[in-house]
């Protein structure tokens, strides 16, 4: 079975929430149990709880510390290994689990592998910024090729990188700040003393297996 678990942490978190939601819905005592023992679910949930707590801290790049990242990495290694084993033992060849359910969980069906997910071909664009709150940007964005706010098919979230100052960064790599909203709008609050400076933004889509698309052109807005 090929590596069906996303590599990027944000995509992994979305994946694990989806899979464990199905596992919980079919544990012993539910209307349609899938046959695994409650103790096995409890073991998996212990590792999940550690990951959830670690990811809640480490996902915020502007406030996390080295210890938060170390714990997140250790929690993921432990949890991912057990989640992969659970899928292999109880979901992959379980006759109580339909092919459709496996597909919805993002795991390969018997003797098949999931179709490769191509990188997004388009990028998000900012369509409006709300400045009504001081030192805050409420950013509305959508796909460059869409007439509504829906994400393109196969996209998990947007990555927004930004820098604050008076000189525009040369590229997204020069932006120290990053957020990964799964929907629009995204609210960004700036530090005291930012009024009068400009926020410079780059945006891109990331798909459900962590593959990113192209960056948008730079956009900048005054911080009021």
Q: Do both 67 and 129 map to the same domain?
A: no
Tens-digit pLDDT string for the chain (224 aa): 457 899 889 999 999 999 999 999 999 999 999 999 999 999 999 999 999 999 999 999 889 999 999 999 999 999 999 999 999 999 999 999 999 999 889 988 876 555 567 889 999 999 999 999 999 999 999 999 988 888 888 888 999 999 999 999 999 999 999 999 999 999 999 999 999 999 999 999 998 878 899 999 999 999 99
**Collapsed DSSP state (helix, strand, coil) of residue 140:** strand
What's the number of domains the chain is made of? 2
Question: 75, 105, 135: which is the final residue of a domain?
Answer: 105
Q: What pTM was estimated for this model as a whole?
A: 0.55
* Residue range of the domain that includes 15: 9-105
Q: How far apart are CA 201 and CA 162, in angstroms?
A: 4
Inside any domain, residue 114 = no
Sequence-distant (6+) residues with CB within 8 A of 112 are: none
Q: Which of 98, 89, 107 has the alpha carbon at shortest distance from 19?
A: 107
Q: Are residues 14 and 53 in the same domain?
A: yes
Residues 90 and 135 in one domain: no
Last residue of a domain, one of 105, 133, 162: 105
- Distance, in Å, from the CA atom of 54 to the CA atom of 79, rounded to the nearest integer, reads 11
| Rounded Cα gap, residues 6 and 121, in angstroms | 19
Is there a single domain that holds both residue 81 and residue 131? no
CATH number at residue 142: 2.60.40.10
Is residue 43 included in any domain, yes or no?
yes
| Whether residue 136 sits in one domain with residue 175 | yes
- Which residue is listed with tokens 């829906």? 150
Beta bridge partner(s), residue 129: 139
Is 145 inside a domain boundary?
yes
Same-domain check for residues 60 and 13? yes
- The answer to the question of residue 119 being in a domain is no
The beta-carbon contacts of 61-70 under 8 Å, at least 24 apart in sequence, are: 61/177, 61/178, 62/176, 62/177
């Amino acid at each position: 079975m090929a590596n069906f678990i996303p590599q990027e942490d944000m995509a992994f978190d979305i994946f694990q929430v989806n899979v464990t939601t199905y596992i919980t819905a079919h544990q012993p005592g539910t209307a349609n149990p899938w046959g695994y023992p409650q103790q096995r679910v409890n073991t998996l949930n212990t590792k999940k709880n550690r990951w959830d707590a670690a990811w809640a801290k480490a996902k915020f790049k502007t406030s996390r510390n080295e210890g938060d990242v170390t714990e997140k990495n250790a929690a993921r290694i432990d949890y991912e290994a057990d989640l992969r084993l659970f899928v292999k033992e109880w979901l992959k060849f379980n006759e109580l689990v339909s092919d459709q359910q496996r597909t919805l969980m993002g795991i390969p069906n018997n003797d098949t592998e999931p179709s490769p997910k191509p990188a997004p071909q388009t990028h998000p664009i900012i369509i409006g910024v709300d400045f009504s709150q001081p030192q805050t940007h409420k950013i509305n964005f959508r796909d460059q090729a869409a007439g509504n706010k829906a994400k393109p098919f196969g996209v998990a979230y947007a990555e927004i990188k930004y820098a604050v100052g008076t000189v525009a960064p040369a590229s997204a790599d020069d932006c120290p700040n990053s957020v990964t909203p799964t929907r629009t709008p995204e609210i960004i609050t700036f530090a005291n003393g930012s009024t009068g400076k400009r926020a410079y933004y780059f945006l891109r889509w990331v798909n459900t297996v962590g593959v990113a698309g192209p960056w948008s052109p730079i956009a900048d807005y005054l911080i009021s």
